[in-house]
């Protein structure tokens, strides 16, 4: 299983306060399941979970058995868990691609370069060869590059035009590497071909026909509903030092109204377990509305979705959305999503007429949604129960020990080739944008006084080792607000990508202070090497820069190691401007 790091953004989540008691027959969500879920939440001190199990009642047309369960808390004030969460957008994208066939003769094998003028990649062969299917199947050669994701004035259009600056980690169709940017790019098809926003296209063709009235892409609408659950983060967690952090609600939602459009294509949906159960029932019904039998998604598209195209290394599954997992002889097509504080999984077993939705509002919930899903599957199919709780607990423990497997800093580290203070300045990249690292010293350089003096940076520094030279940069992107560079040896630094909601809370009038604030990412770790340029300061030669590595670019599977020095070896290179 893939445990998402704090920056692994995908989807999102949550909520609605409807009583499903009358719907519950307890055929699937039995007292055994209730007990299992409750014990998992207690064991992990987890906030909450919503569950839906869907099966067609084949004794009569248009009849479905749908059961819901909700456990724990939805919000910081302790309101009970209702039912919401977001789901990955791949299938929607496929629908977009398909639905517009008539308009632009789009096919799975249409080259995206023929459709989007903004499209461009660093590698020319890749640029001209990438088909829509490659983008949906995560085999374009481009790794995640999630840290480049940011709100942009020019929106998705501008984002697409920056992708040419991103370094690929594999050749076209060589390797499965999940990539949000490709989904976001595809969300630009409706505006381009139909003069319609992606959000309105999905509402018109999916939400409305299915009556998914609690589903939206709009943060403002979701926040206005009162039913939006809080995602919970483990603030100040630092696994390296065995610090679990404090469970804290992310309030308000981690992105602010207006910032969501860029992320919509990668599954930025707010939804509920109830709405998602209709979505899954439609998929189980081969693309037709579960009760009216009207076609919502053409059957061949639904079939195509469940057909394996590329193999993800982290599991036996096929694309993120349509994984094909052979387990106990069952075939599972699933969507998996994560957003700060929310974890979601939507599975369907098309050959066995079953759908299982599990939504968590706990950042650590990724392993809980899996154990609960498989426990339900065992129960429904009356399989010999496996100790899923222990299996996933072991995986969770493994991810912690992997995080702790570091090489200690040398006792007598070498000094870098220039004084630390000379590393201050503006560095820039075509897609990642610019940053200005500030040396932590007393007093700070005048340019850095504000950054270093801010309460959130002071809080970060309070848990950083003050005897190690450290630089901090403001780095406001989709999943981050700051970078912390901690000196390791010579020109090499350990880098943590941090995110805090302190500034947003202050700006929006929430109580100021550490109580409600979240700081995360202290235990995310990458490597940055400061590289001295060989330029003659008149613009000739290479400039100074930071070479990021340590899987900063988010590649997956067996990718070739980068060789060379400095810039050549950089997954991402930010050069002094």
Ligand X SMILES: *[C@@H]1O[C@H](CO)[C@@H](O)[C@H](O)[C@H]1NC(C)=O
Are 23 and 67 a contacting pair, CB within 8 Å?
A: yes
Are 199 and 220 a contacting pair, CB within 8 Å?
A: no
Q: Smallest distance from the beta carbon of 317 to ligand X, in angstroms?
A: 26
Q: Smallest distance from the beta carbon of 566 to ligand X, in angstroms?
A: 15
In angstroms, rounded to a whole number, what is the distance separating the alpha carbons of residues 20 and 18? 6
Structure tokens at 559: 């990718």
- 76 is a site residue for ligand X (CB under 6 A): no
Interface residue with ligand X among 293, 328, 422, 458 (CB under 6 A) is 293
Q: Smallest distance from the beta carbon of 494 to ligand X, in angstroms?
A: 4
In angstroms, rounded to a whole number, what is the distance separating the alpha carbons of residues 234 and 246? 5
Return the closest-CA partner of residue 253 out of 232, 276, 236: 232
Of 242-271, binders to ligand X (CB under 6 A) are 244, 246-247
Interface residue with ligand X among 25, 26, 62, 513 (CB under 6 A) is 62
Are 513 and 529 a contacting pair, CB within 8 Å?
A: no
- 288 is a site residue for ligand X (CB under 6 A): yes
> For residue 208, what are the CA distances in angstroms to 36, 211, 213?
35, 5, 7
> Residue 31 or 61: which CB sits closer to ligand X?
61
Of 294-323, binders to ligand X (CB under 6 A) are none
- 367 is a site residue for ligand X (CB under 6 A): no
Alpha helices in 228-351 (DSSP H): 261-264, 273-284, 299-305
> Residue 140 or 470: which CB sits closer to ligand X?
470
In angstroms, rounded to a whole number, what is the distance separating the alpha carbons of residues 360 and 81? 10
**Per-residue contact flags (x/-) with ligand X for residues 408 to 447, judged by CB under 6 A:** -x--------------------------------------
In angstroms, rounded to a whole number, what is the distance separating the alpha carbons of residues 364 and 235? 12
> Residue 140 or 524: which CB sits closer to ligand X?
524
Q: Smallest distance from the beta carbon of 121 to ligand X, in angstroms?
A: 28
> Residue 167 or 247: which CB sits closer to ligand X?
247
Tell me which residue has its CB nearest to ligand X: 61
Phi first, then psi, for residue 222 (nearest 5°) are -65, -40
Structure tokens at 145: 């590059």
How would you label 273-287 residue by residue, b for 16+ Cβ within 10 Å and e otherwise?
bbbbbbbbbbbbbbb
**Per-residue contact flags (x/-) with ligand X for residues 171 to 210, judged by CB under 6 A:** ------------------------x---------------
Structure tokens at 511: 């109580």
In angstroms, rounded to a whole number, what is the distance separating the alpha carbons of residues 137 and 320? 8
- 45 is a site residue for ligand X (CB under 6 A): yes
> Residue 90 or 492: which CB sits closer to ligand X?
492
Interface residue with ligand X among 21, 22, 59, 61 (CB under 6 A) is 61
Q: Smallest distance from the beta carbon of 509 to ligand X, in angstroms?
A: 24
Q: Smallest distance from the beta carbon of 525 to ligand X, in angstroms?
A: 4
In angstroms, rounded to a whole number, what is the distance separating the alpha carbons of residues 503 and 526? 24
- 492 is a site residue for ligand X (CB under 6 A): yes
Phi first, then psi, for residue 88 (nearest 5°) are -60, 150
404 forms beta bridges with none
Alpha helices in 7-166 (DSSP H): 31-43, 90-99, 101-104, 124-129, 132-136, 155-162
- 292 is a site residue for ligand X (CB under 6 A): no
Residues in binding contact with ligand X, number by CB under 6 A: 20
Q: Smallest distance from the beta carbon of 538 to ligand X, in angstroms?
A: 34
Are 74 and 81 a contacting pair, CB within 8 Å?
A: yes
- Only one of the segments 144-152, 168-176, 323-331, 465-473 lies at the binding site for ligand X (rule: CB under 6 A); that segment is 465-473
- 407 is a site residue for ligand X (CB under 6 A): yes
Q: Smallest distance from the beta carbon of 481 to ligand X, in angstroms?
A: 20
Interface residue with ligand X among 70, 464, 494, 501 (CB under 6 A) is 494
In angstroms, rounded to a whole number, what is the distance separating the alpha carbons of residues 244 and 229? 22
Q: How many residues does the chain have?
A: 577
Q: Smallest distance from the beta carbon of 174 to ligand X, in angstroms?
A: 26
- Only one of the segments 275-283, 331-339, 473-481, 487-495 lies at the binding site for ligand X (rule: CB under 6 A); that segment is 487-495
Of 496-535, binders to ligand X (CB under 6 A) are 525, 527
E-state strands within 275-391? 325-327, 330-339, 342-349, 354-360
Q: Smallest distance from the beta carbon of 492 to ligand X, in angstroms?
A: 5
Residues that bind ligand X (CB under 6 A): 45, 61-62, 195, 244, 246-247, 288, 293, 406-407, 409, 465, 467-468, 488, 492, 494, 525, 527
């Amino acid at each position: 299983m893939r445990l998402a790091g704090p920056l692994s953004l995908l989807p999102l989540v949550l909520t609605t306060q409807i009583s499903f008691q009358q719907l519950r027959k307890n055929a699937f969500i039995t007292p055994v399941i209730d007990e299992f879920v409750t014990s998992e939440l207690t064991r992990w001190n987890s906030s909450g979970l919503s569950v839906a199990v869907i099966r067609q009642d084949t004794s009569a047309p248009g009849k479905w058995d749908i059961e819901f369960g909700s456990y724990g808390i939805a919000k910081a004030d302790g309101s009970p868990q209702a039912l919401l969460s977001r789901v990955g957008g791949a299938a929607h994208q496929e629908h977009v691609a398909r639905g517009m066939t008539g308009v632009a003769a789009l096919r799975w094998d249409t080259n995206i370069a023929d459709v989007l003028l903004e499209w461009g990649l660093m590698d020319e062969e890749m640029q001209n060869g990438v088909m829509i299917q490659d983008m949906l199947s995560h085999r374009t050669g481009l790794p995640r590059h999630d840290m480049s994701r940011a709100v942009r004035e020019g929106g998705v259009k501008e984002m697409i035009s920056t992708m040419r600056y991103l370094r690929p980690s594999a050749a076209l169709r060589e390797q499965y590497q999940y990539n949000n940017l490709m989904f976001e790019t595809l969300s630009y098809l409706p505006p381009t071909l139909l003069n319609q926003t992606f959000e309105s296209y999905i509402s018109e063709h999916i939400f409305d026909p299915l009556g998914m009235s609690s589903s939206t892409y709009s943060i403002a609408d979701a926040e206005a509903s009162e039913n939006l659950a809080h995602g919970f983060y483990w603030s100040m967690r630092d696994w390296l030092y065995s610090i679990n952090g404090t469970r804290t609600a992310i309030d308000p939602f981690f992105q602010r109204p207006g910032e969501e459009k860029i992320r919509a294509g990668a599954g930025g949906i707010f939804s509920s377990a109830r709405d998602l159960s209709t979505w899954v029932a439609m998929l189980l019904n081969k693309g037709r509305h579960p009760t009216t039998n009207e076609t919502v998604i053409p059957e061949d598209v639904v079939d195509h979705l469940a057909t394996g195209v590329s193999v993800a290394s982290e599991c036996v599954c096929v694309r993120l959305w349509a994984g094909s997992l052979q387990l106990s002889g069952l075939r599972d097509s699933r969507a998996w999503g994560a957003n700060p504080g929310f974890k979601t999984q939507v599975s369907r077993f098309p050959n066995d007429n079953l759908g299982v939705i599990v939504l968590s509002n706990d950042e650590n919930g990724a392993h809980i949604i899996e154990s609960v899903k498989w426990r339900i599957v065992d129960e429904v199919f009356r399989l010999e129960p496996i100790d899923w709780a222990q299996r996933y607990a072991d995986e969770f423990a493994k991810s912690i020990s992997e995080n702790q497997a570091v090489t200690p800093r040398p006792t007598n580290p070498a000094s870098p080739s220039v004084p630390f203070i000379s590393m201050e300045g503006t560095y820039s990249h075509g897609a990642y944008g610019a940053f200005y690292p500030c040396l932590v010293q007393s007093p700070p350089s005048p340019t850095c006084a504000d950054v270093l003096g801010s309460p959130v940076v002071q809080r970060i520094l309070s848990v950083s080792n003050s005897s190690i030279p450290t630089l901090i940069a403001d780095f406001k992107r989709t999943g981050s607000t700051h970078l912390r560079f901690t000196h390791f040896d010579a020109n090499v630094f350990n880098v943590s990508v941090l995110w805090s909601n302190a500034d947003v809370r202050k700006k929006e009038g929430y109580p100021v202070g550490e109580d409600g604030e979240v700081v995360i990412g202290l235990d995310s770790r990458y490597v940055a090497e400061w590289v001295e340029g060989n330029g003659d300061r008149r613009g000739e030669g290479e400039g100074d820069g930071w070479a990021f590595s340590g899987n900063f670019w988010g590649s997956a599977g067996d990718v070739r190691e980068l060789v060379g020095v400095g810039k050549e070896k950089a997954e991402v290179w930010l050069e002094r401007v």
